[in-house]
Structure 1
Amino acid sequence: MHKQWSLKIVYLNYAIFWVIWLIAQGYLTLFQRQMTAGMTNDLINVAVKVLIWVPLGLFWLNKTQGQLWLSKKKLYNRHFPVQFWWTLAIFIVYLGFSMWFRHHSFYITAMPFTKEGGNFFSVTLAAGLIEEFVFRGFFCNYLLAKFDMTSAIIIQALLFQAIHFPIYFAEGLSLMGWGVNVATVLPLGLIFGWIFYQSKNLWPSTILHCIWDTSVFLFI
């Protein structure tokens, strides 16, 4: 029988997670600038994220059994509601328009596997799969059992936004860079939370997350 976790315990665990991720991002940035490039840089990013995020997500899910809105055994299923398909269509149209507006033609980055081109696997796959598992699979899932739908989705979106701050710190983003990222990540967190609520399935938000990140990385 698992002891019930209060909201204070969950928020405390999140705060510890945030500090760990801040330290990890700082060391990663310093190490990679001096020692690594290209594919090595990408694979290190994926490995670090897997080693930190996945065990914590599994630990939290196990510790809160019976307190979740959706059982961990039902997180991944075949339910894809109409809201997912409409959102997917809107994403594709918006991302296609953004690519055309910025480049005035079809465009794809020429260096997806190099340090200059970015981190291909960590952006296109790891971010969507791992972040959705932790934030929609656990945080949104737990909060939906404690709050009404709107409150739960807003809180998890704020937590999702905040976990990106260590990356902004590590990369030394300008004030404008912070503003642009917040204006993108926060609404996406709300959308992914809403899709998870509508579908009772982690696959729809994961697919949307991966499509968004991949499209921005490769085409925009």
Structure 2
Amino acid sequence: MSVAALGRALILRFPQPLDVRVARSGAARMLLAFACWALLLQPGLKLIVAAAGAGPGPRVGLLLSLLTAAAFLQLSWMGLSSAAMGWKPWSRWSSEERLFLLQALMTLALVLTLSGPSLSPAMRSQGLFGLVLAVATGFVWGLLQEWVYRGWLQTALQTRLGPWAALLLANLLFTFGPLHGALYRWGSPEPVAFATFAAIFAIGLLFGWLYQRSGNLWLPAILHGAWPLNM
């Protein structure tokens, strides 16, 4: 790993950007799988969980159900391998990708160290087990979102619309679609949290751009999965 590779990692210059040639033949199936998972299954199960209660059991059940559904759609419907979708094995990571992840994790560790005292109220309110469960489920939930919104939707759209239109459209659905409850908040008497949506849109653009530049779904997925710690 050279200094030049470190510099390229800092400016997100990766040797293998997203290649959509593998996905072209299955782009329509990827879009249909996205619609089934993100527009029907996820909001439907969320309503069921809300009716059952917001305890840790229903939340974990929701997460496992959505994870199983995503794996089923990927393997049985789209017929694409995990590597073709961007889940690269570590042995295929470039020096730039490994250095980028190392820098990101070191930055996260620094932020957590500096904000350590602010974590103690969450520890006291949830207990150690509750905090570990929240971090673990949040990590898997972040991976799932990147899998569906970047790995499926953005990739499929890029085969039809090109990289920048795909990045923007996928991120609009990520920000304002059922995932973040925007469709329900618009009809609410409460004011819409525009600052929240702006933040979601900005971080979604970063994740989508990182995926587009590297073709490695692990990079945005790990960063997104760390959101409970960032929060």
TM-score under structure 2 length normalisation: 0.64
* C-alpha distance in structure 1 between counterparts of 2:40 and 2:146, whole Å: 20
Question: What is the distance in 2 between the residues matched to 1:199 and 1:59?
Answer: 26
Decide whether the 8 Å contact of 2:211 with 2:220 is kept in 1.
Answer: yes
Corresponding residue to 1:54 among 41, 65, 71: 71
User: Are the counterparts in 2 of residues 61 and 138 from structure 1 also a CA contact under 8 Å?
Assistant: no
Please list, as runs of the form range in 1=range in 2, the aligned pairs for 1:1-220 lying within 5 A after superposition.
Answer: 4=25, 11=31, 13-17=33-37, 18-33=39-54, 37-38=55-56, 40-59=57-76, 61-62=78-79, 72=84, 75-77=87-89, 78-79=93-94, 81=96, 84=100, 88=104, 92=108, 100=115, 105-108=117-120, 109-110=122-123, 111=126, 113-114=129-130, 119-123=134-138, 125-161=139-175, 162-166=177-181, 169=184, 175-176=190-191, 178-211=193-226, 213-216=227-230, 220=231
AA partner of residue 215 (structure 1) = L
Distance 2:34 2:107 in 1: 30
Verify the 8 A CA contact 1:132 1:202 in the aligned structure 2: yes
SS in 2 for 1:146: helix
- The structural deviation recorded for 1:201 is 1.0
Give the share of equivalent positions with the same residue, in percent.
16
Return 5+ residue gaps in structure 2 as ranges.
1-23
**Deviation at residue 166 of structure 1 after TM alignment:** 4.3
Q: CA deviation at 1:169?
A: 4.2
Count residues in correspondence: 198
| Aligned partner of residue 138 in structure 1, secondary structure | helix
Paired residues of 1:57 and 1:138 also in contact (CA < 8 A):
no
Calculate the TM-score normalised by the size of structure 1. 0.67
Gaps (5+ residues) in structure 1?
A: none
